[in-house]
């Protein structure tokens, strides 16, 4: 038998409407309405809501766990690098005479400069660790197999570009350590078969390590690589949305594929 609900205290009862109150719209509702109307206006002209639904409302296999967040964690590390990098670029000067001084100025004089520079420096290490962990997850879960081979190949290129990002960024403070470490790195590059010497000439901007080297590293670090990484992440995420994520191997072993009705 269903018991009747206890009566509401008078203070909690909704107040009866006053004459004319129904027509009065609260300012907050007006703001909400404006937001909805703007989103509708854009959607009617672009159909973007369909794209958003296609990318975000996907079936995920049963057994999806914390290891599946490593890709998104890498993405956020990259975004953090992009944002902090933009602020550093506002003060950094990539000339051999001023690079060290501008980096010192960011750390010692600019408001929150040391914090932003620290975030960018430690963030690069975090991104390298996360991308390696993400790659290990996809490898051990067999996500490189059909039909995701192309996404694996894109991932390998992303991995290399992440390493090149770290390598080119290391020279930019232009202190003794970064200068000599980069000379060693470029020389190691030069020992590679066939392409090695050409690659190190390209990185140095000639046979000698000089002023061109620094501006070349800066251009590669803040224009070429971020552009390529953004394009490749776009392709990578398109393929993830299109193909779905791989079910954990122990589930696939039980039921053929992770997307069987009982698994999603």
Tokens encoding 46: 């672009």
Exactly one of 120, 216, 236, 252 binds ligand HEM (CB under 6 A); that residue is: 236
The conformation of residue 25, written as its DSSP 8-state character, comes to P
Residue 188 main-chain phi, psi, to 5 deg: -60, -45
Exactly one of 233, 251, 258, 263 binds ligand HEM (CB under 6 A); that residue is: 233
Contact, 219 vs 228, CB < 8 A?
no
Exactly one of 60, 75, 82, 133 binds ligand HEM (CB under 6 A); that residue is: 75
Q: In angstroms, give the least distance from the CB of 66 to ligand HEM.
A: 10
Is residue 216 a contact point for ligand HEM (CB under 6 A)?
Answer: no
Distance CA 224, CA 216 (A): 10
Residue with smaller CB distance to ligand HEM, 133 or 181: 133
Residue numbers 122-181 binding ligand HEM by CB under 6 A: 131, 134-135, 138, 141, 143-144, 148, 151-152, 155-156, 158-159, 162
The residue whose Cβ lies closest to ligand HEM is 155
Contact, 147 vs 139, CB < 8 A?
no
- C-alpha distances (whole Å) from 156 to each of 30, 99, 124, 131, 223 are 49, 32, 18, 10, 20
Contact, 262 vs 61, CB < 8 A?
no
Q: In angstroms, give the least distance from the CB of 204 to ligand HEM.
A: 27
Q: Which residues bind ligand HEM (CB under 6 A)?
A: 68, 70-72, 74-75, 78, 131, 134-135, 138, 141, 143-144, 148, 151-152, 155-156, 158-159, 162, 233, 236, 240, 245-246
């Amino acid at each position: 038998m269903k018991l009747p609900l206890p009566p509401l205290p008078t203070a909690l009862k909704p107040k009866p409407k006053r004459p004319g109150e129904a027509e009065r719209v609260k300012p907050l509702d007006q703001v909400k309405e404006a937001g909805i109307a703007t989103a509708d206006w854009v959607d009617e002209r672009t159909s973007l809501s369909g794209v958003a639904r296609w990318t975000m409302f996907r079936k995920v296999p049963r057994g999806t766990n914390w290891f599946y967040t490593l890709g998104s964690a890498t993405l956020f590390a990259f975004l953090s690098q992009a944002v902090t990098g933009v602020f550093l670029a506002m003060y950094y000067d990539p000339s051999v005479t001023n690079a060290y001084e501008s980096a010192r100025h960011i750390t010692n004089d600019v408001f929150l400069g040391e914090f932003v520079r620290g975030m960018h420096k430690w963030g690069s290490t975090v991104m390298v660790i996360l991308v390696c962990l993400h790659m290990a997850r996809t490898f051990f879960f067999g996500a490189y197999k059909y039909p995701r081979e192309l996404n694996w190949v894109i991932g390998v290129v992303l991995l290399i570009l992440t390493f090149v990002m770290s390598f080119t960024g290391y020279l930019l403070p232009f202190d003794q350590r970064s200068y000599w470490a980069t000379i060693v790195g470029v020389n190691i590059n030069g020992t590679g078969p066939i392409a090695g010497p050409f690659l190190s000439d390209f990185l140095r901007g000639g046979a000698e390590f000089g002023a061109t080297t620094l501006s070349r590293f800066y251009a590669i670090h803040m224009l070429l690589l971020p552009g390529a990484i953004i394009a490749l992440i776009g392709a990578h995420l398109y393929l993830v949305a299109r193909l779905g994520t791989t079910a954990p191997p122990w589930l696939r072993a039980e039921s053929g594929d992770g997307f069987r009705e009982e698994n999603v």
